[in-house]
Structure 1
Amino acid sequence: MQGNEDGTSDLKRPTSKTSLIKGSVWMTAGSIFSRILGAIYIIPWNMWLGTIVTASLANSLYMKGYNLYSWFLVVSTAGIPGAISKQIAHYNSLNEYSTGNRLFRQGLKIMFWTGLGSAAIMYFGAPIIANIFVGGDQQVVPVLKALAWALLVIPLISIIRGYFQGYSQMAPSAISQFVEQVARVVYMLGATYLIMQVQHGSYVSAVVQSTFAAFIGALFSLGVLMWYFLRQLPRLRKLSRQSKVVENREEQNFLKEIWAQALPFIILDSGIVTFQIFDQATFNGMMHTFWPLSKNVLDSLYALFAFNANKLIMITISLAAAMAVTAVPLLSAAFSQNDRDEIRSQIANTIQLFLLVMIPASLGMYAVAKPLYILFYRYDKLGIYILQFSSIVAILLGLFTVLAAVLQGLYENKAAIKYFFIGLIVKMILQYPLVGLLNVYGPLMATAIGMGVACWLMIRLLCHNFGFQADSTINRSCGIFCLSLVMLIGISLVNWLGYLWINPENRYLSVLWLIIEVVLGIMIYGYLILKTRLAEKIIGGRMAGLRQKLKIK
């Protein structure tokens, strides 16, 4: 597919490594910029909230509401965007573009009603939801009501993104995602400054308006997607007119087909959120049985890993989500054409590309955790250690996201769901003893073990059912890890030397040192993957050209 700079293209969908890489670049760029922007706002937001204690309580309240909203969001979109992307890619591979368009129209109707229903349940049922999931904390009720408005719009946004992704069109999704985040951050910072700095109001009011910003961002995102859709409408109509017509599909009701494909996406897309909600529902109670701490102290400890660290590691996990979105339609098309070689190739390409980026990103975050945490939240020794621990757990969270998408693209939905629930049960069993053993690190360790079990089962199935040869991927993964470890050691040494004379309380010098460490890390890892030609083996010949331009032999 030859794409233009604005993201438009001939809408015919290729199935190749080039398409995977190109789509991943678009989705990764959109996700990364959005996540970075979604993290940067924390700096002024926490400053305007006042004291460290107030900011910590606000972070905890924000995350309690947002975790529940995230789960409702997955249910309200009902996995249909992923299902639409997958099925449209399937029909397009058979030259049945008109069939895919009819499926999309029925999906729009479903999205409207599920969005409306989910918004109503979340808004009017907020007091009951707070009693069940956050121990009756009534401060969460107005936060949930503010978030409910976004559920009216985001399901429609999601299905339009899924439609473009079915054509391997990732630019509209990426750009709309970024615009959504910009509008959201501008509103929430403006509202927080007005409430806390001008009116000297309550942090609860600031959190309520900050969460309502999700609705504002959604409106802007919908506008961007509609612009793209109207711009490409002539091409879409042309493809539909020229496509093959299958008689028994003229009156086909796609409702059953959509829901059959959507249900696995509901369960698996909510996988990480489900783990987080379990932490939210059990953390205070489990911790209190071992250490009789006050509610405010427990809320502050919960915020350290559920909000503070989570906000930052989600930047790296978004890499996995971007690649997963790209992989599903490509694998679905290869499966529809029964191309076993292409399937094996796409599995290997997807996993290796993910590891090439995710491992150095996570180990890099581990290395720069101290200045990074100081930049966003001020100095906190425990918070820094939790961020380092979380950055390693992020590799498994990202791998689960990618592997679940791979299995869905290959129509192994039941197996993916089964393995997810096995991992969740493992976490539930281990959580209590690990909290007693590891304190605040317990939930993170339980998550790592549960996700690790699920990932191992998924990889085993890919090897058994699709002939995926893991040897090459394991060898390259070891190479990536070793090169990333060299980078980590280099950054850690610089970090240790720097903080011999930098006061950890000095935010400005920490920012400067963070920039130095990030640049150094990119240079070390970039040089090593080009020097060893590992990047060429995974990404392709373009890396050879870059290596030659940089005169790396």
Structure 2
Amino acid sequence: MALSTMIRGTLLLTAATFLSKLLGIIYVIPFNALLGEDGGALFSYAYVPYNILISISTIGIPLGVSKFVSKYNGIGDYQTSQRVFRTGMSIMAVTGMVAFLVMYFGADLIAQWSVGNSEKGFSAESVAYVIKLVSFANLIIPAMSIVRGFFQGNQSMGPTAVSQVVEQIVRIVFLLLSVYLALHVFHQNVVVAVGYATFAAFIGALASCAVLYVYWTSRKSHLNRIIAEQKVKPASMTDKSIIKELLSYAGPFVVTGIATSLYQFIDQFTMKRALIAIGQSGDVADSLFGIVNFYGQKIITIPMTLSIGLSLAAVPAITRAFFSDNRKLYLHQINQSIQIVLFLILPASIGIALLGNEAYTAFYGPDAVINLGAGTLMMWYAPVALLFALFTTTSSILQGINEQRFSVISLTAGLLAKIFFNIPLIHAFGAKGAIFGTALAVGIATISNFVRIKYALRFPMRQLVKRTILILIFTAIMSVLVIAVKFVLGFVLSYEDGKIAATIIILVCAFVGGSVYLLLAYKSTLLERVLGNRIGFLDRLLKRKKG
């Protein structure tokens, strides 16, 4: 396949993934308007265990199928590619069924662990109801992911890209429409409405399957023809050896995908009980859980989405350079990946922290900010986005240098810290304690990854430290300007005036702070050194000479 075609396919898949994530962030605005903080909490009680189980049930095998298919297609052995696909499909059918059974029949136990027997707030029966409804998606998504992996192994990114976007659109449309009808037409309660919202995962998966089926039928004749015309002798592999090699890809690749969900899962079992223990009512505890684990988490995801995509785009190149023993190249690429995350997410997360009240209000309105302190929680939660992004990036780098098993060790260390310290921190600091627990856990995991990278590669830190200091200085200057602009705007606008006022404050502060940050980065040449290229349009705009 031509390089340009591969690049186009990669860009298409990246764009589709970004669009899917963006839609997954935007839909929470009308969702919050319909169901409020309580609805978000109930939705999170079901979706967190679902995300964990769906990740475990796929266990990286779609990626393994993609690599296998690409490998054997490259030598013309299309029959073995088909065998790998069928074997992977069989595994996914079993793991999907197991995940469904565990979640459906374990729903009552998970619900009891999550909310206990508190008299106020959601009952265990309500939580179990929504968990059971979301569990049906496990029957479809694992097998569906194998089909996507097969197409990607054939260097065909279109089916995955289109099916991802269609799945997300159908899920969101069904979710919002069913919630609205349940509440305002059929006059059902919040529990029923959230149940429909979680069942939307199953409906979206069906839509994705329909798209993939259309692609499959249109290409089936071509696949059958190249198999019939195959001249290479098929590889002599048993089903057992195929399964063994597929599973060898699996474990470490799950780590980065479920890290956030695992931290949320610990909050799900501890946060409400700990808040009630320090005097909060069950209703308030549910609302605070929804703010931290659902609505707030969506906001801090915004700066992470693009920057992680840009940094991880270098990981395949890091892998190639590492295994070709090109030390200078892979050290440069690792440095650049980490610097991109720092350069983009550090100022963005600090900006969100400084505008915590405005950010939450712009998305969801001022009520939770005024009554529950949601803005203060956002102020503390926003910087954690940088830790999550650095953990994801460093874990992927470890995979690229064949140290992926250490990601499991670092994640385990972080999880143990979260388990041991979460309740004491909540007792000491209230809802903020759950955020501090997550920051501590992700920080430990991230630092562990850094240390492993440094000692495994004898990684030189001088350039990274120098540029990090420069980023910190520019971020501090930006922060002073944002505070000043916010103070001046405060004479005429306040987040308490509603979503429009909060949005105006954010846009003005972001424009002033962002412009100054980028200008400083450009004038100092930090911008082009981090991104790796001259910024042509800025050169023309500011008339900087080349050279």
Task: Give the structure-2-normalised TM-score.
Answer: 0.85
Instruction: Sort the Cα spacing of 1:178 and 1:44 in 2 relative to 1 into closer, same or farther, 3 A.
Output: same
Partner of 1:179: 166
Q: Deviations over 1:356-396 (max 9, x none)?
A: 33223322322433322112222214101111211101110
Where 1:138 maps in the other structure, the secondary structure is helix
Q: Deviations over 1:522-549 (max 9, x none)?
A: 43333333333223223233x4323223
Partner of 1:347: 334
Asked whether 1:110 is paired with 2:91, we answer: yes
CA contact (8 A) 2:115 2:273 kept: no
Whole-angstrom distance in 2 between the partners of 1:138 and 1:257: 42
Where 1:468 maps in the other structure, the secondary structure is coil
- How do 1:189-228 and structure 2 match up within 5 A? 189-225=176-212
Partner of 1:38: 24
Partner of 2:267: 279
- How do 1:64-463 and structure 2 match up within 5 A? 64-84=45-65, 91=71, 102-135=83-116, 137-162=124-149, 173-225=160-212, 253-289=241-277, 291-319=278-306, 322=309, 326-327=313-314, 329-379=316-366, 380-381=369-370, 382-463=373-454
Deviation at 1:199, TM superposition (A): 2.4
Structure 1 portions without partners, runs of 5+? 12-18, 50-54
Choose which of 456, 462, 467 in structure 1 pairs with 2:458: 467
Whole-angstrom distance in 2 between the partners of 1:3 and 1:222: 29
Structure 2 portions without partners, runs of 5+? 118-123
Q: Deviations over 1:495-520 (max 9, x none)?
A: 22223222413322223333333444
Q: Deviations over 1:299-350 (max 9, x none)?
A: 1222221122112112333346535764554444445545444433432232
Partner of 1:547: 538
Partner of 2:488: 497
Instruction: Sort the Cα spacing of 1:430 and 1:149 in 2 relative to 1 into closer, same or farther, 3 A.
Output: same
Instruction: Sort the Cα spacing of 1:459 and 1:150 in 2 relative to 1 into closer, same or farther, 3 A.
Output: same
Asked whether 1:507 is paired with 2:499, we answer: yes
Task: Give the structure-1-normalised TM-score.
Answer: 0.84
CA contact (8 A) 1:531 1:552 kept: no
Instruction: Sort the Cα spacing of 1:251 and 1:371 in 2 relative to 1 into closer, same or farther, 3 A.
Output: closer
The residue type equivalent to 2:493 in the other structure is: I
Q: Which moved more, 1:295-304 or 1:166-175?
A: 166-175
Deviation at 1:119, TM superposition (A): 1.8
Deviation at 1:150, TM superposition (A): 1.7
Q: Deviations over 1:434-454 (max 9, x none)?
A: 223222111211211221121
CA contact (8 A) 2:453 2:459 kept: yes
Q: Deviations over 1:170-211 (max 9, x none)?
A: 776555433322222211111121121222221111111111
The residue type equivalent to 1:80 in the other structure is: I
The residue type equivalent to 2:261 in the other structure is: V
Instruction: Sort the Cα spacing of 1:373 and 1:168 in 2 relative to 1 into closer, same or farther, 3 A.
Output: farther
Instruction: Sort the Cα spacing of 1:501 and 1:158 in 2 relative to 1 into closer, same or farther, 3 A.
Output: same
Where 1:146 maps in the other structure, the secondary structure is helix
Where 1:411 maps in the other structure, the secondary structure is coil
Please give the root-mean-square deviation of Cα atoms over the aligned residues, in Å: 3.5
CA contact (8 A) 1:31 1:322 kept: no
Instruction: Sort the Cα spacing of 1:225 and 1:484 in 2 relative to 1 into closer, same or farther, 3 A.
Output: farther
Whole-angstrom distance in 1 between the partners of 2:231 and 2:537: 40
Whole-angstrom distance in 2 between the partners of 1:413 and 1:460: 14
Deviation at 1:408, TM superposition (A): 2.2
Deviation at 1:77, TM superposition (A): 1.4
Deviation at 1:32, TM superposition (A): 4.3
Whole-angstrom distance in 2 between the partners of 1:509 and 1:56: 21
Partner of 2:120: none
Whole-angstrom distance in 1 between the partners of 2:146 and 2:62: 4
CA contact (8 A) 1:86 1:329 kept: no
Instruction: Sort the Cα spacing of 1:59 and 1:400 in 2 relative to 1 into closer, same or farther, 3 A.
Output: same
Whole-angstrom distance in 1 between the partners of 2:251 and 2:52: 14
Deviation at 1:252, TM superposition (A): 7.7
The residue type equivalent to 2:19 in the other structure is: F
Whole-angstrom distance in 1 between the partners of 2:325 and 2:515: 42
Instruction: Sort the Cα spacing of 1:10 and 1:27 in 2 relative to 1 into closer, same or farther, 3 A.
Output: closer
- State how many pairs are aligned: 531
Whole-angstrom distance in 2 between the partners of 1:236 and 1:510: 58
The residue type equivalent to 1:259 in the other structure is: L
Instruction: Sort the Cα spacing of 1:351 and 1:176 in 2 relative to 1 into closer, same or farther, 3 A.
Output: farther
Q: Percent identity?
A: 30
Whole-angstrom distance in 1 between the partners of 2:409 and 2:231: 37
Q: Deviations over 1:41-86 (max 9, x none)?
A: 233333334xxxxx22211111111111111111121232344456
Asked whether 1:517 is paired with 2:518, we answer: no
Asked whether 1:57 is paired with 2:38, we answer: yes
Whole-angstrom distance in 2 between the partners of 1:546 and 1:436: 52
